[in-house]
Amino acid sequence: MQLDQLQLQNFRQFKDESIRFSRGSGQGVTVIHGSNGSGKTTLLNAFTWLFYEEVDFDTRPERLVNEGAISEASVGDRLTVSVQLKFDHEDVEYVAQRQAVYEKRSSNDFDGELVDMDLSVKQRSGGSWTERGNPGNTLDQIIPERLSSLFFFDGEDIEELAGIDNQGRIQESIENIMGLTILERATRHLDDVAGRFEDEVEENASEELSNLIEKKRSIEEQVDDLERKKQDTQRAKDQVAQEIQDIEQKIERFDESAALQERRTEYREKRDELEAQVERLNEEIRDEIQEKGFVPLGIPLIQETAEELDEMREQGVIPSELNDSYIDSLLEAEECICGRPLEPGTEHYQQIEAMKGDSVAEGVEQSALRIISHLNQFSEMQSSFFEKIDEIIEERKSLYDDIDDLDEKIDEVSSELQGMDQTTESGESVKDLEAKRAKKEEEKEDLISEQGRIEQRIEDKKEEISNLEEEIDDQRDEREEALLAKRRQRAAELVGAELDEAFQDLKDKVRKLSNKKIRETFGSIASKDLTAEITTNFELKIWQNVGGKKVEVDKSTGERQIASLAFIGSLVAIARQRYEADSDSEYFTGGIYPLVMDSPFGALDMDHRREVSRVIPELANQVVVFATDSQWEGPVEEEMTPVVGKQYWLDFDDGEGDSEYPRTRIRTEKAAMRSD
Binding residues for another protein (CB under 8 A) = 282, 285-286, 289-290, 293-310, 312, 317-318, 360, 363-364, 367-368, 370-379, 385-386, 389, 393, 452, 456, 463
- The upper half-sphere exposure of residue 360, i.e. CA atoms within 13 Å in the direction of its Cβ, equals 1
Go through 501-538 and write b for each residue having 16 or more CB atoms within 10 A of its CB, e for each that does not: eebeebbeebbebbbebbeebbeebbeeebbbbbeeeb
Q: Are 645 and 28 in contact (CB under 8 A)?
A: yes
Virtual CA dihedral for 429, 434, 439, 440, nearest 10 degrees? 100
**129 CB contacts (<8 Å, ≥6 apart)?**
95, 122, 123
Distances (CA, A) of 518 to 160, 311, 501: 16, 63, 25
The angle formed by the CA atoms of residues 320, 324 and 328, to the nearest 5 degrees, is 115
Residue with Cβ nearer another protein (393 or 502): 393
* Sheet of strand 29-33: strand arrangement: 152-154, 595-598, 623-627, 29-33, 644-653, 663-667
Burial class (CB in 10 A: 0-12, 13-18, 19+), 178: buried
Q: What are 595's strand-pairing partners?
A: 623
Instruction: Report in angstroms how near the CB of residue 622 gets to another protein at its nearest.
Output: 43
Report the C-alpha gap between 367 and 373 in whole angstroms: 10
3-state secondary structure (DSSP) of residue 345? coil
Burial class (CB in 10 A: 0-12, 13-18, 19+), 294: middle
Burial class (CB in 10 A: 0-12, 13-18, 19+), 452: exposed
Distances (CA, A) of 217 to 195, 214, 515: 10, 5, 40
